[in-house]
Structure 1
Amino acid sequence: MLRWERGTVSAVTSSWPGVHRLEVALDDGTGTLRALAYEELTGCPEPGEPVLLNTNALRRELGTGGDAMVVARPEVLPAQAEVRGHMVKARYTPMQTMVDALDDPDSEHYQTVRAAKGVGGMPVVVADLHSSLPAIIAGIRARRRSARIAYVHTDAAALPAAYSKSAARLREAELLTSVISAGQSFGGDLEAVTVHSALLGARHVVGADIAIVIQGPGNLGTGTGWGFSGVQAAESLHAAAVLGGVPVATLRVSGADERERHRGLSHHSSTAYGRALLAPVHLPVLPRTDSRYNAFHESVRKQVKRTILKPAKKRGVLHHLTEVDAKGLRDALEEMPVRMTTMGRTLAEDYPAFQYAALAGRCAAGLLPSGSAPGATRSPA
């Protein structure tokens, strides 16, 4: 159900590419609230303008979705953008939007995508949480600073790619070459109908050396074995594998999560990689010879063996436990132009969460043709 409320814009308090955060005074006189307006859907309402809001996530006090959403501007029709293609995202919802997709017959890139047979060994890093994105990029740049990186924004969480402040800032800092919104997600630099065509676009249109595939902000979890949106990571890794890419699976790790199921190795990684995944992938871990290796990292390694490698092997899937040197990664993470947070915890409060994401990035950079990353080796155990 939608929860509808009416209000009047008091101020535009902040903006980033494609998104405006507003202060809205409610018509019922109960106060003001924060609301988001997406340029692609509604344009930017002006102070003094009435708006219709969807407040269900805000009223339920949800974290990532804790803003009201501007659904309509009763007194204004936003300017109509010209769209050549006929692909629709957020289909059959009142906010369905037309996009120019890479794989649309009317796209200038259509013949390129149509002719592409695969991604030619491109490393593809996949993660569960959107907060891993800047850390993965930090790891890539710690090994290959000049790498061209494309981010594929999937549709398991936030559908508008513009919602991600991290991706916007990384694009502005020229640390991301392109954002491609895949599936029902929309608003990237480029649009694609599937993760598969997004990866083809990353390789053959963007010219990316490495692609990163992650859902947007707003990971949905239930505490059950299969009821979490990050299970889509397995399907993204499948896409990388069938297209001839080199799949790298980011381990979701935490040293500070209060929930036992997410402490050390998260059960989300165990399920996605140990039970749902049908293709072999790289699983980057810290080597035992690393000076930073301690009981925590040994525990994570044992969890990976027990909950990912062993059950996958029983199904005939032989993953690669890939040891990656962590030297310099802390500095690389601290140099990133975005604030590192995951589930409300900062880099200082939960370093392993970002360290393992950075290991995945460095692993991918080491798989590029010119050489391997220092310490990037397969471990039989």
Structure 2
Amino acid sequence: MIRWRAGVVEEVGASWPGAVELVVALDEPWSDPTLPARVKALAYPALVGELGVGRRVLLNVSALARGLGTGGYALVVAPGDGRPADPPGRRGHLVKARYTPLQAMVLGVDDQESEHHETLRDADDLEGMPVVVADLHSALPAIVAGTRTAAARAGRTPPSVAYVMTDGGALPAWFSRAAAGLREAGWIDAVVTAGQSFGGDLEAVSVHTALLAARHVLRADLAVVVQGPGNLGTGTRWGFSGVAAGEAVNAAGVLGGRPVASLRVSGADPRERHLGISHHSLTAYGRVALVPADVVVPTFDVDDDELTALGRRVHAQAVALGEPHGRHRLVEVHAGADLRSALTASPVRLSTMGRGLEQDPAAFLAAAAAGVHAVSLL
């Protein structure tokens, strides 16, 4: 069930492409007196129209009331004092967030009405394009930092990168400040939203057509496939949204791409199941991915005792994924000082499960190493 509140916009705050922060004064108090009467809310103007100070809004406060990881936001469902104007044009018939009260109709890159329909109608081959797959959205900027480091080492221009956003986390691409910041900085060239996710530069029905669009429409050198912000996990072997990483490996392999598996690694997570290589990676790549991939295993600087010990753990865990025990190829990539420097230069904040680069460097170095390897395949 949805927990609803209504209120009046008191402030218009920060904005980025597709999203705007508001401060809303609620009409009625919470049953819990510790919760605030003024809340930070997030609006997507493409769905609810432009909203200014003094406008009434209807809010979904379910996750906020439960203290869940939505960035501390109430979500604007609709203006409370009149409907938004009808959107211009009538092209496209892809419905996303289907059969929910906020389902949106978009023009898909693979839609019959799309100018790219003929290109994609019989497209079936990624032509060896490297496809880096990761579990957590926080891996995205680190992977791209790795691609840029590898290009700089080789004296090459950075590769063009398409981000394929799957629907395991946030559905609107607009929610991702990381994607918006990387796009603005020129670190990624486009966002393709696949499945039920929406709001990208291109919309696609499936991960398969999203990857084909990355190659044949955007002419990207490589693609990064990862869910939007808001990973869902239950502490069970199979109950986590990142299981789709294994399915993305399958899609890339079936279409003639070069799947590169980025390991979810942590040296700071207090949960044993996520220490070293997360059980999420071991399940997604070890049990779900049915085609061979290059699993990138980072090696860390030997002058850091903590990272050295963690590296030994990671290598021991990775054995289960590589031949002859598993079906994948283990590829060691050195994650040294230049890679760490590239991460510090990220145009967007690095954060995974609330930890930054200094608190959990291995998480970002492992993802960046996957980006380094992807460039070596070009």
User: Do both proteins adopt the same fold according to a TM-score greater than 0.5, normalized to the shorter chain?
Assistant: yes
Task: Give yes or no for the alignment of 1:294 onto 2:308.
Answer: yes
Q: Which moved more, 1:77-86 or 1:120-129?
A: 77-86
Aligned to 1:161: 173
Equivalent position SS for 1:75: coil
The alpha carbon displacement at 1:14 in A equals: 1.1
What amino acid is aligned across from residue 331 of structure 2 in structure 1? T
The whole-number CA distance in structure 2 between the counterparts of 1:39 and 1:188 is: 14
1:150-201 alpha-carbon deviations (Å, 9 max, x no partner): 0001011100011000000000011110000000000001100000000000
Aligned to 1:28: 28
Aligned to 1:321: 330
Equivalent position SS for 1:248: strand
Aligned to 2:34: none
CA shift in 2, pair 1:61/1:29, >3 Å: closer
Superposition map of 1:192-231 within 5 A:
192-231=204-243
Equivalent position SS for 1:342: coil
The alpha carbon displacement at 1:119 in A equals: 0.7
The alpha carbon displacement at 1:296 in A equals: 1.4
What amino acid is aligned across from residue 93 of structure 2 in structure 1? H
What amino acid is aligned across from residue 85 of structure 1 in structure 2? G
What TM-score, normalized to structure 1? 0.92
Equivalent position SS for 1:275: helix
The alpha carbon displacement at 1:325 in A equals: 2.6
Superposition map of 1:33-44 within 5 A:
33-44=39-50
CA shift in 2, pair 1:288/1:359, >3 Å: closer
Task: Give yes or no for the alignment of 1:350 onto 2:356.
Answer: no
The whole-number CA distance in structure 1 between the counterparts of 2:345 and 2:217 is: 29
Q: Is the 8 A contact 1:139 1:362 kept in 2?
A: yes
The alpha carbon displacement at 1:64 in A equals: 3.0
Aligned to 2:119: 112
What amino acid is aligned across from residue 26 of structure 1 in structure 2? L
Q: Is the 8 A contact 1:113 1:200 kept in 2?
A: yes
Please tell me the root mean square deviation across aligned C-alpha atoms, in Å.
1.6
Identity %: 56
The alpha carbon displacement at 1:45 in A equals: 1.4
Equivalent position SS for 2:229: coil
1:324-365 alpha-carbon deviations (Å, 9 max, x no partner): 132410111111111111000010110000000000000101
The alpha carbon displacement at 1:75 in A equals: 1.7
Equivalent position SS for 2:260: strand
Q: Is the 8 A contact 2:19 2:43 kept in 1?
A: yes
The whole-number CA distance in structure 2 between the counterparts of 1:94 and 1:151 is: 27
1:27-81 alpha-carbon deviations (Å, 9 max, x no partner): 1156100111112210231111111110000000012353111111122322322
The whole-number CA distance in structure 1 between the counterparts of 2:341 and 2:16 is: 27
The alpha carbon displacement at 1:245 in A equals: 0.2
Equivalent position SS for 2:139: helix
Give the counterpart of 1:139 among 146, 150, 159: 146
The alpha carbon displacement at 1:289 in A equals: 9.2
Number of corresponding residues: 363
Unaligned residue ranges in structure 1 (runs of 5+): 369-381
Task: Give yes or no for the alignment of 1:6 onto 2:6.
Answer: yes
The alpha carbon displacement at 1:253 in A equals: 0.4
Task: Give yes or no for the alignment of 1:240 onto 2:252.
Answer: yes
Give the counterpart of 1:64 among 66, 70, 77: 70
Q: Is the 8 A contact 1:290 1:325 kept in 2?
A: no
CA shift in 2, pair 1:124/1:296, >3 Å: same
Q: Which moved more, 1:188-197 or 1:280-289?
A: 280-289
Q: Is the 8 A contact 2:335 2:366 kept in 1?
A: no
Q: Is the 8 A contact 1:17 1:168 kept in 2?
A: yes
The whole-number CA distance in structure 2 between the counterparts of 1:263 and 1:288 is: 16
Q: Is the 8 A contact 2:297 2:318 kept in 1?
A: no
The whole-number CA distance in structure 1 between the counterparts of 2:75 and 2:62 is: 9
CA shift in 2, pair 1:280/1:7, >3 Å: same
Task: Give yes or no for the alignment of 1:336 onto 2:346.
Answer: yes
Equivalent position SS for 1:5: strand
The whole-number CA distance in structure 2 between the counterparts of 1:348 and 1:43 is: 40
